[in-house]
């Protein structure tokens, strides 16, 4: 991920200085805004070509599964598994999933470190949404639990409230670090930016028998024909930077298939450290992810997969 301004790739959020923290958010905003007159224009045939490529691969999977098989829903957990560099079928990724976080919370009850990471991720995501829409966090743990309760995520609330007193104190302290870093990273968006959190995308292939899905943490701007006009912001609370960046490229591909034009710029915020990176979306990013998904589907057509239908 390369910054689109002459700055270091990662810039730590200054600790404890509220004025400096706001300045960091302003830097992110300035990088996202860029020069509106210089925003890239993409070939109008790009989206159609990418879809045709994926439809060809999807056809073989549909044929192999049979006409009575239920729809196959594929997101980053299945397609971008960090446990397999090839991202082959049969692997899953729960922690830090960008496509369907609720599934991870609902299925991971092992009580181990992975569950703790999922819990922290849910709480950080809630604070991120609060910062985008209100600009303020007062009591990180209480605010996050209240927000999750309002959205009906009682499983995560019960998990947090059932922790022993010592573990809950550690969780509150850790969450406060993430909240402080996010407060310095998340820009204040004017209403004209049309900031939208948890923006879900679903792209049917093979007549709806395969569905590629995902969810943007944050999208700003409105689509424009042929001209890239959206900015997408991803949040990483604990996952590898390279994996989170790849998830943004995957979501950019889905947006290209949905609206005909990719986002023109991506930002990745890392709440644990206060680092961030910004980059332009390029055709090669989209083609690389499309190639990866097509290869995944080709392997899936040759054998069983445990992707959920």
Segment 125-182, tens digit of pLDDT: 999 999 999 999 999 999 999 999 999 999 999 999 999 999 999 999 999 999 999 9
- Model confidence at 23: pLDDT above 70: no
- Mean confidence (pLDDT) of the chain: 80
Confidence of residue 214 (pLDDT cuts 50, 70, 90): very high
| 129-134 CB contacts, 8 Å cutoff, 24+ apart | 129/197, 129/198, 131/182, 131/183, 131/186, 132/186, 132/189, 132/195, 132/197, 132/218, 133/195, 133/197
Residue identified by tokens 């303020």 is 136
Q: Whats the size of the chain, residue-wise?
A: 309
Specify the pLDDT at position 115: 63
Listed range (187-191, 200-204, 289-293) with the worst mean pLDDT: 187-191
Give pLDDT tens digits for 79-120: 997 554 443 333 322 222 333 433 233 333 344 566 688 999
Specify the pLDDT at position 89: 38
Q: So where are the chain's domains?
A: 18-94+190-301, 101-185
Specify the pLDDT at position 112: 52
Specify the pLDDT at position 87: 38
Contact assessment for residue 177 and residue 13, using Cβ atoms and an 8 Å cutoff? no
- DSSP string spanning the chain? ---SSSS-S--PPPTT-HHHHHHHHHHHHHHHH--GGG--B--TTHHHHHHHHHHHHHHHHHHHH-TTSPPEEE-HHHHT-TT-TT--TT----TT-SS-HHHHHHH--S-SHHHHHHHHHHHHHHHHHHHHHHS--SSHHHHHHHHHHHTT-HHHHHHHHTS-HHHHHHHHHHHHHHHHHHHHHS----GGG--EEEEEEEEEEGGGTEEEEEEEEEEES---SSB---EEEEEESSS-HHHHHHHHHHHHHHHHHHHSS--SEEEEEETTTTEEEEEE--HHHHHHHHHHHHHHHHHHHTS------
């Amino acid at each position: 991920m390369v910054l689109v301004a002459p700055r270091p790739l990662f810039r730590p959020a200054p600790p404890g200085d509220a004025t400096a923290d706001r300045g960091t958010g302003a830097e992110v905003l300035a990088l996202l805004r860029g020069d509106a007159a210089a925003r890239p224009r993409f070939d109008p045939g790009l989206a159609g070509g990418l879809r045709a490529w994926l439809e060809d691969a999807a056809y073989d999977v549909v044929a192999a599964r049979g006409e009575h098989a239920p729809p196959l829903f594929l997101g980053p957990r299945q397609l971008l598994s960090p446990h397999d560099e090839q991202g082959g079928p049969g692997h899953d990724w729960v922690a830090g999933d960008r496509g369907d976080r609720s599934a991870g919370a609902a299925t991971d009850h092992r009580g181990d470190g992975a569950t703790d990471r999922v819990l922290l991720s849910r709480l950080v995501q809630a604070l991120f949404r609060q910062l985008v829409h209100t600009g303020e966090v007062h009591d990180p743990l209480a605010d996050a639990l209240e927000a999750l309760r309002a959205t009906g995520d009682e499983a995560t609330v019960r998990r947090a409230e059932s922790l022993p007193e010592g573990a809950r104190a550690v969780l509150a302290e850790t969450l406060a670090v993430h909240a402080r870093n996010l407060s310095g990273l998340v820009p204040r968006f004017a209403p004209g930016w049309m900031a939208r959190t948890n923006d879900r995308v679903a792209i049917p292939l093979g007549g709806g028998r395969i569905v590629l899905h995902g969810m943007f943490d944050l999208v700003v701007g409105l689509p424009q024909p042929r001209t890239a006009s959206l900015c997408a912001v991803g949040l990483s609370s604990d996952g590898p930077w390279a994996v989170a960046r790849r998830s943004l490229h995957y979501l950019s591909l889905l947006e290209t298939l949905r609206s005909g034009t990719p986002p023109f710029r991506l930002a990745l915020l890392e709440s644990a450290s206060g680092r961030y990176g910004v980059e332009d979306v390029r055709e090669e990013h989209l083609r690389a992810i499309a190639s990866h998904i097509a290869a995944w589907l080709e392997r899936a057509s040759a054998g069983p997969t445990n992707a959920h239908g």
